[in-house]
Structure 1
Amino acid sequence: MNPDVAADLKDLSATLANVEAVMDLDALRAQVSELEQEAARPDLWDDVEHAQRVTSQLAHRQGELRRIGELKQRLDDLGVLYELAEAEGDESSREEADAERQRLRDEISALEVRTLLSGEYDEREALVTVRAEAGGVDAADFAETLMRMYLRWAERHGYPTEVYDVSYAEEAGIKSATFRVKAPYAYGTLSVEQGTHRMVRISPYDNQGRRQTSFAGVEVVPVVEQSDHVDIDEKDLRVDVYRSSGPGGQGVNTTDSAVRITHIPTGIVVSCQNERSQLQNKATAMAVLQAKLLERRRQEEQAKINQLKDDSSGSWGNQMRSYVLHPYQMVKDLRTGHEVGNPTPVLDGDIDAFLEAGIRWRRQQQAG
Structure 2
Amino acid sequence: MAAVDPSEELKNLDSTMASIEAVLDLDKIRADIATLEEEAAAPTLWDDVANAQKVTSRLSFLQGELRKVENLRGRVEDLGVLFELAEAEDDADTRVEAEAELESVKKAVEELEVRTLLSGEYDAREALVNIRAEAGGVDAADFAEQLMRMYLRWAERHGYPTEVYDTSYAEEAGIKSATFTVKAPYAYGTLSVEQGTHRLVRISPFDNQGRRQTSFAGVEVLPVVEQSDHVDIDENDLRIDVYRASGPGGQGVNTTDSAVRITHLPTGVVVSCQNERSQIQNKASAMNVLQAKLLERRRQEERAAMDALKDSGSSWGNQMRSYVLHPYQMVKDLRTEHEVGNPQSVLDGDIDGFIEAGIRWRKQRES
TM-score of the two chains, using structure 1 as the length reference: 0.96
Deviations 1:309-332 (A, max 9, x none): xx7232336100000010111111
Consecutive unaligned residues in structure 2, runs of 5 or more: none
CA contact (8 A) 1:78 1:100 kept: yes
TM superposition shift of 1:90: 2.5
CA contact (8 A) 1:85 1:91 kept: yes
Counterpart residue number, 1:52: 53
- Is 1:223 paired with 2:224? yes
Matches within 5 A, 1:266-281: 266-281=267-282
- Is 1:165 paired with 2:170? no
Counterpart residue number, 2:203: 202
Q: Distance in 2 between matches of 1:287 and 1:349?
A: 26
Deviations 1:68-127 (A, max 9, x none): 111111111111111222223322222221121111111111111111101111000000
Q: Distance in 1 between matches of 2:273 and 2:282?
A: 5
Counterpart residue number, 1:312: 310
CA contact (8 A) 2:193 2:314 kept: no
Whichever residue aligns with residue 114 of structure 2, its letter is: V
Secondary structure at the residue paired with 1:145?
A: helix
Counterpart residue number, 2:336: 336
Q: Distance in 2 between matches of 1:38 and 1:67?
A: 23
TM superposition shift of 1:185: 0.1
Q: Distance in 1 between matches of 2:311 and 2:365?
A: 7
Deviations 1:234-293 (A, max 9, x none): 111111111111111111111010111111111111111111110010011001100110
Q: Distance in 2 between matches of 1:306 and 1:21?
A: 32
Matches within 5 A, 1:31-50: 31-50=32-51
Matches within 5 A, 1:39-188: 39-188=40-189
CA contact (8 A) 1:136 1:214 kept: yes
Secondary structure at the residue paired with 2:178?
A: strand
Give the share of equivalent positions with the same residue, in percent.
74
Counterpart residue number, 1:322: 322
- Is 1:22 paired with 2:20? no
Q: Distance in 2 between matches of 1:83 and 1:364?
A: 37
Q: Distance in 2 between matches of 1:73 and 1:47?
A: 39
Deviations 1:178-230 (A, max 9, x none): 00100000000001111100000000000000000000000110111111100
Whichever residue aligns with residue 182 of structure 1, its letter is: K
Whichever residue aligns with residue 345 of structure 1, its letter is: S
Secondary structure at the residue paired with 1:58?
A: helix
Counterpart residue number, 1:257: 258
Whichever residue aligns with residue 293 of structure 2, its letter is: K
CA contact (8 A) 2:198 2:217 kept: yes
Whichever residue aligns with residue 312 of structure 2, its letter is: G
Secondary structure at the residue paired with 2:5?
A: helix
Whichever residue aligns with residue 348 of structure 2, its letter is: D
Greater Cα offset, 315-324 or 220-229 = 315-324
CA contact (8 A) 2:120 2:189 kept: yes
Q: Distance in 2 between matches of 1:286 and 1:32?
A: 32
Whichever residue aligns with residue 196 of structure 1, its letter is: T
Q: Distance in 1 between matches of 2:311 and 2:50?
A: 38
Give me the CA root mean square deviation: 1.3
Whichever residue aligns with residue 230 of structure 2, its letter is: H
Q: Distance in 1 between matches of 2:78 and 2:220?
A: 43
Counterpart residue number, 1:241: 242
Matches within 5 A, 1:284-299: 284-299=285-300
Q: Distance in 2 between matches of 1:212 and 1:56?
A: 44
TM-score of the two chains, using structure 2 as the length reference: 0.97
Q: Distance in 1 between matches of 2:148 and 2:49?
A: 28
Deviant stretches of 4+, over 4 Å: none
Greater Cα offset, 193-202 or 312-321 = 312-321
Counterpart residue number, 1:7: 8
TM superposition shift of 1:3: 5.8
* Structure 1 pair 2–72 and aligned structure 2 pair: CA distance change class (3 A): farther
CA contact (8 A) 1:313 1:365 kept: no
Counterpart residue number, 2:352: 352
Secondary structure at the residue paired with 2:227?
A: coil
Deviations 1:328-367 (A, max 9, x none): 1111111111111111111100101111111111111111
CA contact (8 A) 2:239 2:265 kept: yes
Q: Distance in 2 between matches of 1:123 and 1:39?
A: 21
CA contact (8 A) 1:306 1:314 kept: no
Whichever residue aligns with residue 92 of structure 2, its letter is: E
Whichever residue aligns with residue 311 of structure 2, its letter is: S
Secondary structure at the residue paired with 1:227?
A: helix
TM superposition shift of 1:4: 3.4
Q: Distance in 2 between matches of 1:313 and 1:12?
A: 35
Q: Distance in 1 between matches of 2:148 and 2:183?
A: 15
Whichever residue aligns with residue 312 of structure 1, its letter is: K
Q: Distance in 2 between matches of 1:49 and 1:148?
A: 28
